């Protein structure tokens, strides 16, 4: 059973470009969470999604960031018009149901904005 998969593992963008991060949850998991880890900071919750629904986006910046989890395919975190402050590791986690379950994390995507 493959674990949570994220791609790309490393992404370099210039300021103003768009970044698209993909996450495929573990088989049988329908809940996806995105976290951001800034250098020297802890993991910060961004958004929680179920298939075709955003359940909690309280940690998402108000502008430039969006997330989706379509009926088919991976979950996508999109960052438009990236700035240097967006440079961080972005982790995706999945669980079979809402909360009260272990969250299984992917290896992360390291975004570097030049």
Partner 1 sequence: SQKIEQNSEALNIQEGKTATLTCNYTNYSPAYLQWYRQDPGRGPVFLLLIRENEKEKRKERLKVTFDTTLKQSLFHITASQPADSATYLCALDMGYGGSQGNLIFGKGTKLSVKP
- Which positions touch partner 1 (CB under 8 A)? 4, 31, 33, 35, 40-45, 48, 55-56, 58-59, 91, 93, 95, 98-108
Element (H, E) at 46: strand 43-50
Which CB atom, from 48 or from 69, has the smaller least distance to partner 1? 48
Which CB atom, from 76 or from 96, has the smaller least distance to partner 1? 96
Q: Tell the smallest beta-carbon distance from residue 17 to partner 1 (Å).
A: 24
What's the CA angle centered on 39, arms 2 and 113, to 5 degrees? Answer: 85
Q: Which of 89, 92, 91 is nearest to 112 (CA)?
A: 89
């Amino acid at each position: 059973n493959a674990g949570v998969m994220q791609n790309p593992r490393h992404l370099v963008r210039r300021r103003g470009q768009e970044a698209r991060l993909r996450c495929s949850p573990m088989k049988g998991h329908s809940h996806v969470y995105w976290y951001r880890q800034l250098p020297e900071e802890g993991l910060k919750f961004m958004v929680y999604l179920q298939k075709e629904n955003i359940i909690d986006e309280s940690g998402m910046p108000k502008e430039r960031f969006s997330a989706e989890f379509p009926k088919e395919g991976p979950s996508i975190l999109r960052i438009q018009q990236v700035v240097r402050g967006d440079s961080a590791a972005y982790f995706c986690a999945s669980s079979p149901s809402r909360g009260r379950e272990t969250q299984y994390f992917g290896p992360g995507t390291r975004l570097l904005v030049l």
